């Protein structure tokens, strides 16, 4: 009997393999190979230069009626295509990007297809359905199987809002452990970086719309693969732990149109760590721009009241949430060529349509307009969702230029839809947006008026990070040289840099009313060319910036969008150096973690001729006094290598002009 059963099982297995069909797809440079297998399940595997990126990894979409798209798929057609075109990206760190890929689309019986793309910089796939009426997705199964227990950079979900599993600010430091050491059932956000010991790969998503965002967790069956998890659709909300969160969720993740494409599942591949800084997949795989005329969208820098607690000195009025204070911020922005002021929480009273008593917003707007400065207002996400139909046109008519909308703290299908509706409504009223409590997810291309996102462990954390054994508990400088390769892959990030009070590891202390940063002064200054942020903050007090005017002058000169980006010497989690060009001028920034380093800035990115370099470097005593810096000028030529010493938590920044 055992022989009979074994023979039957063997015949069934052979029949499965015989029925399976493989399809191959290569990147334009031929170095990346995607092999898609359609057998008992639909799977893909990826290699680059012969090195395994992922082993065969299954994909499926489970519908509410029990149908599993991808299970025993029957391929009705396989079509290939090559695309090579240029996309204009004026609100980005490149003015244009090349969309060059090879594609394979497998059309299946059952009314669905799967599209695969192979770029030189990575690979991606997405489901598409062609069904009548509405479609209910119970789950989507995304897997990434690796061939070894690789080291990883894990942005765990922690500090859930009200204890709800899927409500989170999307702000995570990176835990650096082998994949096998991931905590069971703990969710991580994306991008998630895997060190393939020679190359690196970032697991991410792109083009999310009318669908929940993707979380990942460890597959406990083998401990070297990742599986997806999605927030179920919220049905009822309640007040828990000070937050309005879902208290009842559906048994599905999305109800959506039966004919549509779904978000991309992406592997960004880096031959060298700096490749992540030049990777454009998040832009390339996002929906196309939906705003016909984008000429009114104005990137730029802004002064900000919240981080410094409005610590203004030497004035003859009482500082607070009042008209005089914000006129002072306007004067500072105008004097330093900043495009905006941001008025944070406190200007409204219980409703976006109700101003704080005695607060003359129209006077502030009119005064700012006379100085060529725009006004942006903070608002809470829940209130904004409820009142945007009235508030957006009302404040746009008054002359407000945009809103910073805070505390979304979720990316389920409902919240995703809210953000798309707010972005469209803001665009109708010529308002820019800065979205907080949310990571970038692709909306910035269809609605480029969404200039920035939080979803980053930014400078605000320096206000409260605890100290133990004369060291800050949180390692912000290390995060600063990790996030550009991970979090920044998916879009701009509102880190809010620019602290003028700076501290060594031993000198740091938390102070919510008079905060300081970890690391050197030039570490903060280097963030302006390093971090992507079309709407960029100067987080500190105007009084402190005026006290440090030559540092402020440098920061004010750095644009927030660029024509070209060139990654220089980089190592994830250790140091970063990048050069960006705008209108023929180059802006360079370099930062390190708490380890002092000597690096070289290779000036091969420069054009021919002689260039003047205006340089800010860590001072000789910056390891003892973090505010110590040296400001020098010199001439350089293309190909010349500038030797740079970075103090612990240090930085280097330069502007190069012909």
Per-residue pLDDT band for 1 (boundaries 50, 70, 90) equals very low
Mark whether 147 and 132 lie in a shared domain.
Answer: yes
Mark whether 254 and 355 lie in a shared domain.
Answer: no
Distance, CA of 340 to CA of 301 (rounded, Å) = 6
CA distances from 121 to 117, 269, 512 (A): 11, 6, 42
Distance, CA of 557 to CA of 555 (rounded, Å) = 5
Count: domains in the chain? 2
Mark whether 308 and 405 lie in a shared domain.
Answer: yes
- Compute the chain's Rg from CA coordinates: 25
CA distances from 556 to 159, 369, 522 (A): 35, 19, 14
Looking at residue 20, its pLDDT comes to 78
Q: What is the mean pLDDT of residues 637-650?
A: 97
Q: Which two tokens stand for residue 109?
A: 């019986």
Would 372 be classed as within a structural domain?
Answer: yes
Distance, CA of 385 to CA of 375 (rounded, Å) = 20
Mark whether 215 and 292 lie in a shared domain.
Answer: no
Would 293 be classed as within a structural domain?
Answer: yes
Q: Which domain holds residue 407?
A: 288-455
Residue 17 pLDDT > 60, yes or no? no
- Which tens digits make up the pLDDT trace of 56-112? 999 999 999 999 999 999 999 999 999 999 999 999 999 999 999 999 999 999 999
Mark whether 248 and 336 lie in a shared domain.
Answer: no
Would 51 be classed as within a structural domain?
Answer: yes
Residue 2 pLDDT > 50, yes or no? no
Chosen domain end from 261, 284, 307: 284
**Lowest mean pLDDT, pick from 19-33, 135-149, 516-530:** 19-33
Per-residue pLDDT band for 242 (boundaries 50, 70, 90) equals confident
- 366: helix, strand or coil: helix
Distance, CA of 128 to CA of 112 (rounded, Å) = 6
Nearest to 305 by CA among 356, 347, 343: 343
Looking at residue 11, its pLDDT comes to 37
Burial class of residue 82, CB neighbours in 10 A (0-12, 13-18, 19+): exposed
Mark whether 207 and 317 lie in a shared domain.
Answer: no
Residue 184 sits in a domain whose CATH number is 2.70.98.10
Q: What are phi and psi of 593, to 5 degrees?
A: -80, -155
Strand 340-343 versus strand 225-230 pairing type: unpaired
- Which tens digits make up the pLDDT trace of 488-538? 999 999 999 999 999 999 999 999 999 999 999 999 999 999 999 999 999
Residues labelled as active-site residues = 406, 460
Chosen domain end from 284, 301, 336: 284
- 460: helix, strand or coil: helix
Mean pLDDT of the chain: 96
Mark whether 261 and 356 lie in a shared domain.
Answer: no
Mark whether 94 and 170 lie in a shared domain.
Answer: yes
Would 107 be classed as within a structural domain?
Answer: yes
Looking at residue 18, its pLDDT comes to 41
Q: Which two tokens stand for residue 625?
A: 């006094």
Distance, CA of 119 to CA of 526 (rounded, Å) = 31
Mark whether 202 and 292 lie in a shared domain.
Answer: no
Residue 304 sits in a domain whose CATH number is 3.20.20.70
Q: What are phi and psi of 369, to 5 degrees?
A: -60, -40
Would 112 be classed as within a structural domain?
Answer: yes
| Contacts of 180 by beta carbon, 8 Å cutoff, 6+ apart | 149, 218, 223, 224
Percent of the chain with pLDDT over 70: 97
Mark whether 239 and 348 lie in a shared domain.
Answer: no
Q: Which two tokens stand for residue 260?
A: 């549509």
Would 193 be classed as within a structural domain?
Answer: yes
The string of DSSP codes covering 551-617 is HHHHHHHS-SS-SEEEE-S-BTTTEEEEEEEETTEEEEEEEE-SS-EEEEEEGGGS-SSEEEEEEEE
Looking at residue 19, its pLDDT comes to 59
Looking at residue 15, its pLDDT comes to 39
Mark whether 252 and 398 lie in a shared domain.
Answer: no
Mark whether 170 and 265 lie in a shared domain.
Answer: yes
Residue 8 pLDDT > 60, yes or no? no
User: What's this model's pTM, rounded to 2 decimal places?
Assistant: 0.95
Would 429 be classed as within a structural domain?
Answer: yes
Looking at residue 243, its pLDDT comes to 92
Chosen domain end from 256, 284, 312: 284
Nearest to 101 by CA among 233, 206, 179, 5: 206
Neighbours of 429 (CB within 10 A): 17
Per-residue pLDDT band for 3 (boundaries 50, 70, 90) equals very low
Would 529 be classed as within a structural domain?
Answer: no
């Amino acid at each position: 009997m055992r022989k009979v059963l074994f023979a039957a099982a063997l015949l069934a297995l052979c029949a499965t393999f015989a029925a399976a069909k493989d399809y191959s797809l290569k990147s334009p440079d031929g170095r990346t190979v995607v092999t898609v297998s359609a057998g008992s399940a639909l799977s893909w595997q990826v290699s680059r230069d012969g090195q395994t990126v992922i082993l065969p990894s299954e994909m499926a979409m489970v519908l509410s009626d029990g149908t599993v798209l991808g299970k025993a798929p029957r391929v009705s057609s396989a079509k290939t295509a090559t695309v090579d075109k240029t996309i204009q990206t004026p609100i980005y760190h490149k003015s244009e990007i090349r969309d060059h890929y090879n594609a394979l689309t497998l059309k299946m019986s059952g009314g669905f297809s799967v599209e695969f793309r192979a770029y030189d910089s990575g690979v991606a796939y997405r489901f598409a359905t062609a069904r009548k009426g509405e479609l209910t997705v119970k789950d989507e199964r995304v897997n990434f199987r690796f061939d070894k227990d690789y080291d990883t950079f894990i942005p765990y979900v922690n500090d859930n809002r009200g204890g709800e599993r899927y409500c989170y600010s999307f702000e995570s430091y990176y835990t650096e452990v082998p994949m096998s050491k991931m905590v069971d059932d703990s969710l991580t956000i994306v991008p998630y970086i895997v060190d393939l010991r020679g190359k690196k790969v970032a697991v991410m998503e792109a083009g999310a719309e009318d669908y929940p965002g993707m979380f990942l967790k460890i597959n406990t069956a083998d401990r070297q693969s990742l599986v997806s998890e999605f927030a179920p659709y919220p049905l009822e909300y309640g007040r828990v732990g000070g937050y309005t969160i879902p208290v009842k969720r559906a048994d599905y993740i999305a109800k959506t149109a039966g004919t549509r494409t779904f978000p991309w599942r992406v592997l960004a591949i880096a031959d060298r760590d700096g490749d992540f800084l030049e990777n454009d997949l998040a832009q390339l795989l996002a929906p196309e721009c939906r705003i016909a005329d984008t000429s009114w969208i104005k990137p730029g820098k802004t002064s900000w009241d919240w981080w410094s607690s409005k610590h203004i000195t030497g004035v003859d009025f009482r500082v607070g949430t009042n008209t005089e204070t914000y006129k002072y911020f306007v004067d500072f922005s105008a004097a330093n060529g900043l495009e905006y002021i941001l008025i944070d929480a406190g200007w409204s009273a219980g409703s976006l349509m109700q101003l704080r008593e005695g607060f003359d917003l129209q006077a502030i707007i009119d005064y700012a307009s006379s100085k060529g400065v725009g006004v942006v207002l903070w608002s809470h996400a829940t209130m904004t969702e409820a009142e945007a139909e009235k508030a957006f046109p009302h404040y746009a008519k008054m002359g407000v230029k945009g809103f910073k909308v805070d505390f979304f703290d979720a990316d389920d299908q409902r919240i995703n839809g809210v953000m798309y509706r707010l972005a469209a409504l803001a665009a109708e009223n010529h308002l820019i947006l800065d979205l907080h409590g949310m990571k970038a997810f692709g909306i910035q291309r269809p609605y480029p008026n969404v200039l920035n996102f939080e979803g980053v462990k930014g400078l605000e954390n320096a206000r409260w990070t605890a100290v133990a054994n004369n060291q800050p508990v949180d390692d912000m400088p290390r995060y600063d040289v990790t996030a550009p390769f991970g979090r920044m892959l998916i879009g701009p990030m509102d880190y809010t840099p620019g602290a003028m009070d700076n501290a060594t590891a031993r000198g740091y202390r938390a102070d919510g009313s008079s905060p300081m940063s970890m690391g050197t002064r030039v570490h903060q200054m280097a963030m302006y060319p390093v971090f992507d942020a079309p709407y960029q903050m100067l987080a500190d007090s105007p009084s402190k910036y005026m006290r440090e005017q030559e540092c402020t002058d440098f920061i004010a000169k750095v644009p927030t969008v660029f024509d070209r980006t060139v990654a220089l010497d980089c190592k994830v989690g250790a140091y970063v150096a990048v050069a960006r060009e705008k209108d023929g001028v180059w802006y360079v920034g370099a930062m390190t973690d708490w380890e002092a380093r000597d690096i070289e800035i290779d000036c091969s990115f420069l054009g021919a001729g002689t260039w003047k370099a205006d340089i800010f470097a860590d001072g000789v005593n910056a390891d003892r006094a973090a505010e110590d810096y040296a400001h020098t000028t010199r001439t350089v030529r293309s190909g010349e290598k500038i030797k740079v010493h970075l103090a612990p938590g240090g930085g280097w920044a330069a502007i190069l002009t012909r």
